[in-house]
Amino acid sequence: MHRFIPAANGNVATAPTLLLLHGTGGNEDDLLQLGRSLAPEANLLSPRGKILENGMPRFFRRLAEGVFDEADLVRRTHELNDFIIAATKEYGFSPENITAVGYSNGANIAASLLLLRPGTLKNAVLLRAMVPLKPTDNADLSGTRVFLASGLTDPILPIDNARQLAAMLREAKADVTHHEINTGHQLTSAELEVARKWLNAPT
């Protein structure tokens, strides 16, 4: 299940596309308003996670808080990549201009997509992401921009883990901006405004 909302100007083929990836317990509608505020002229592609944890949708299984089922994560990451490819053909948007915007569980699978399928995403906005896995092959993320937003007092995601992810992405040659803010796991309007300015800055 997913939602696709074409660019407001109707130019689906030339507009950028935001891939919106919700957090645990969310759905395909959760990030639509955020996506539109971040990039008013973009196409919005928003899938629902296929895994249910106590009835709550997620994008991949976990064994405990912060402990991922890596085999399932790898499988679901490749499934997500296949979904994106199919969606480019169905809706006609460019595969060369896709930005993931993920929150929590959605940010983690977006980070996994960067590491396992480099080249799929042009940019990524990772809101409350942690190291999803340590791939066996070194990804080359040259030319890929990544914005990480992390809470210094996040009880779910230790800031040191987020810093490890930033270092891992930089090692893969991504252009990483890591925004650390004195808050917890919930998002703030201030950091979303920083993300919006980052996403729309000239490159």
Catalytic residue among 46, 112, 154, 178: 154
Among 84, 71, 79, which Cα is nearest to 119's?
84
- How far apart (Å, rounded) are the C-alpha atoms in residues 35 and 41? 10
Burial letters 110-131, b for 16+ CB under 10 A, else e? bbbbbbbbbebbbbbbbbbbbb
Active site (annotated) includes residue 142? no
Catalytic residue among 46, 104, 112, 150: 104
Name beta bridge partners: 142: none
Instruction: Supply angle C-alpha 176, 182, 187, rounded to 5.
Output: 75
Active site (annotated) includes residue 2? no
Active site (annotated) includes residue 104? yes
Question: Active-site positions?
Answer: 104, 154, 185
